[in-house]
Structure 1
């Protein structure tokens, strides 16, 4: 998400008086992650699949035996976008 570890740690404290500005790239990355989560919640009923799917090895042609998290962790926007597209297609989205 392009945030430092210290910023992440501070955000987890949920101090209502603290805020951080995000640039357009960071907002788009967060949007992809949230939309991936929404797609998984639509496709799967049980929490194990909703939360576990991104870490599961995937033999789909795009993933080639890698887990979606592994692909997203590469850090580039294309990997995040393509992961979103593949997961969104599970719920019937057409590209």
Structure 2
């Protein structure tokens, strides 16, 4: 299960346009303990699931993470830009914001 989650999260990041370096920074840095890697993977899987709820079109689900967003939180940045800083807090907040959108 744990390996599957990492595989699913990696696949989602690739679909969203992340290269190997960025995937490593967001999901698999050597400084992350295995529990943190799994938590990060669960957040990415959650984002992917929420995007499936928001968009019926697969292209929109894929492109959303690279689209600039002008709301107060994103401030003209894309979700992928925000999580590319590699911090857990950015990933958690971005996941929370996308979860909210899926509930509208």
TM-score, normalised to structure 2's length?
Answer: 0.69
SS in structure 2 opposite 1:90?
A: helix
1:2 partnered with 2:28:
yes
**Aligned with residue 80 of structure 1, among 78, 91, 95:** 91
Q: How far apart, CA to CA, are the structure 1 residues paired with 2:69 and 2:86?
A: 19
> What residue in structure 2 maps to residue 33 of structure 1?
44
1:42 partnered with 2:68:
no
CA drift at 1:3 = 4.1
**Which is bigger in relative contact order (C-alpha 8 A, separation at least 6)?**
2
CA drift at 1:43 = 0.8
TM-score, normalised to structure 1's length?
Answer: 0.75
Q: How far apart, CA to CA, are the structure 2 residues paired with 1:78 and 1:62?
A: 13
Gapped regions of structure 1 (runs ≥ 5): 5-21
Gapped regions of structure 2 (runs ≥ 5): 1-26
CA RMSD in angstroms, aligned pairs only: 1.5
Q: How many residues align?
A: 76
Q: How far apart, CA to CA, are the structure 2 residues paired with 1:60 and 1:31?
A: 25
Structure with larger Rg? 1
Q: Deviations over 1:14-73 (max 9, x none)?
A: xxxxxxxx7100000000000000000011000111111000001111110000000000
Superposition misfits of 4+ residues, deviation over 2 angstroms:
none
Higher helix proportion = 2
